[in-house]
Amino acid sequence: MLKSFLLFFTLVVITISVESSVTGYIRPLDIQRFEKVLIDGISSGNLVNIHYGVRGLSLIKKPVPDSLINGLCDVIRKTLLDSKIKIEQIYYASSVLAQTPRCKHILKDEKDKVFTDVLTNEASTIPELYYATESLSNLGRAVPGSTKIAQSIQTKLKTEDTLLNLGYTFHIASRLGAAGKFALDRVEEALVQADEVDGKFLQFEGGLSVTSIVLVGINKLHAAQKVPSIITKEQVEKFSNYLVSRRTVQTPKGVSLLIEAIRTFTDNPQVSPASIGLAGSGQVTAAVAVRVCDILGNNLALPADSVIAQSATRLGDDVVVLAKQKLVATSNPIIYNLELPRDRMAAGLYKVVISAGAHTASLTVTALAKGTVSSLEIGVADTDQLSAARLTKLAYPNKLSTALEGDSQQVLLIKFAFVDVSTKKPLKIQQAFLKLTCLTTKREILFVAESEPGTNLYVITLDIGNKAALLGGASSSFSLSLILGDTVLSNPIIWNLGELNVKLTGVSTEVISSPPRGPKPEIHHLFREPERRPPQTVSMFFTGLAIAPILLLFALWIKLGINVSHFRLSLGAIGFYSGLAGIFILYSIFWLNLNMFQTSRWLLLLGAIAFLSGHRLLKSIAEKRKH
């Protein structure tokens, strides 16, 4: 353990693996895209899009462009002047008026009848009651008959208790004062209907629209009744994960509902979730930049010393290398730096637990070492004299001054060590190769370096004679390159060692060639071989059983006699019996030769003839009996 503490590394890459906080946040680029989507919605001239566009801009605290105000107000004026205006249109128009003071249009008193009709009519749906109460609130008016409305909603919920209606009920109840207290009993009923996905997300069936309406309604209801929210911290985090995952919405309605639901959490200090993650590119030298903000990217206003790295544990052996270390605040209020204990972090994976106030997140850290090659030796020796081989020492990144010479009776031998640049301690690497590139054909061959037992050295032993076929089967010159890399190595190395001249005599010249380039041969599908048929006697026996009913029919006809006295020569009779006989013959031919599709085409024709002529024949028989 103490030995590993002596290592330190000059580069750290961090990847986030959040366990107990939100996995992302609404980035500034997302806000910019939201703004464009909302402005496009206002520009469309559609009342619904204008409503969501204006509301969405208000939620992200962006003004409506002056160039759109006149057109927006014209749409509202035309809507309010419509004699057949519906309560839903009034809701959208009143919402825009409430958030756009420059539109001075006023809803005329005669439109109050629309509110009265909706609020007093027992046939009004829960969504219509929602539009009416929200419209009155937008216009600054009180909702009349709160107790009666509350009773009406409770009656309707007995048969219409969908999630969407529950969401609308929470909104309506928040406008009814004390009469809306009944809806508090339905909050838990709504929350238990949330669907959990992968243990990280919570959402309601119906997607973003239903989820937003229900969550915003619950928040409004709790605020209106002045009771604490019953949504748990875990539920808030999972709902927030779902909402953040929907930041790719492309419609004004989707953007507005998304931001409104997120603001429901971020504007409530009791439940406001935090997003703890990596800031920047993820590659640092001395400190890790950690982002701590709410899911809208705003500062959480935490005390300066409340962001703490509780622990950093190496995953390989559970060694704790850091504990209770405070992060340093930067000029950016949502960015904090974690200074790394270089003398204690060996290469590998670490679990770092970051706490920010009441919020906690787990980060998986990969510490990368900067390595170099030391004490490399290279040379060519006879096969039976490897132990006494004379090797040339080479320092990185130099190359051989002269080319090595080797033949089929010799071996190319390379030994090297790989160490950390700072500590000079040996490092184990996963990928160590020698690449030979033929100078004439540019063909590349790779050989793997093996770790020598009992030492910290890597060894490459290339028997030229045994690898003659792989080397091309003829004398050639090759360039030598050492390739080194690893998942915990910050500086992968490709080192040109020099050249090797190979002379091959008295060995197999069969060359292992690369597959020819160009189109591949056509692949023909091979159908399964047909199964073995049963003996002929068995087939004939079952054939006899199949035709036995027909033979029995003819036998009975012969014995009892056939009464053909009532057969009349007519077009219907001839057509029917001919069609019926044709169908039997067709079945026989199908059994012997035709396939199902050919038989179906002929059966359609013969069946039509038999049906039409049979209908005509039965009609004539019925008329004859009647007369």
Domain residues of the chain, as ranges? 2-21+279-368, 28-266, 372-503, 542-626
- 431-438 vs 444-448, strand pairing mode: antiparallel
Which residues are within 8 A (CB) of 135 and not within 5 positions of it... i.e. 6 or more apart? 87, 90, 91, 94, 95, 115
Task: Give the pLDDT band (50/70/90) at residue 214.
Answer: very high
pLDDT exceeds cutoff 90 at 203: yes
Residue-level pLDDT at 433: 93
Residue-level pLDDT at 567: 67
Q: What percent of the chain has pLDDT over 70?
A: 91
Q: How many other C-beta atoms are found inside a 10 Å radius of the C-beta of residue 304?
A: 10
Which residues are within 8 A (CB) of 604 and not within 5 positions of it... i.e. 6 or more apart? none
Mean pLDDT for the stretch of residues 395-407: 88
More confident residue, 390 or 17: 390
CA distances from 463 to 4, 38, 405, 414, 513 (A): 37, 70, 13, 12, 19
CA distances from 171 to 185, 188, 228, 495, 511 (A): 14, 15, 17, 69, 80
The answer to whether domain 372-503 has CATH 2.40.350 is no
Residue-level pLDDT at 371: 87
Angle between the N-to-C axes of helices 112-120 and 126-138, in degrees from 0 to 180, rounded to the nearest 10: 140
- CA torsion through residues 437, 514, 409, 418, sign: positive
- 493-503 vs 404-407, strand pairing mode: parallel
Asked if 603 contacts 583 with a C-beta cutoff of 8 angstroms, the reply is yes
The three-class DSSP label of residue 435 is strand
Residue-level pLDDT at 283: 57
Residue-level pLDDT at 205: 92
Which residues are within 8 A (CB) of 615 and not within 5 positions of it... i.e. 6 or more apart? 572
Residue-level pLDDT at 502: 87
Asked if 149 contacts 171 with a C-beta cutoff of 8 angstroms, the reply is no
pLDDT exceeds cutoff 60 at 7: no
Residue 550's Cβ-count burial label (10 Å; 0-12, 13-18, 19+) is: exposed
Residue-level pLDDT at 8: 35
CA distances from 377 to 180, 400, 406, 449 (A): 85, 11, 16, 13
Judged by average pLDDT, the poorest of 90-99, 282-291, 454-463 is: 282-291
Domain 28-266: which CATH class? mainly alpha
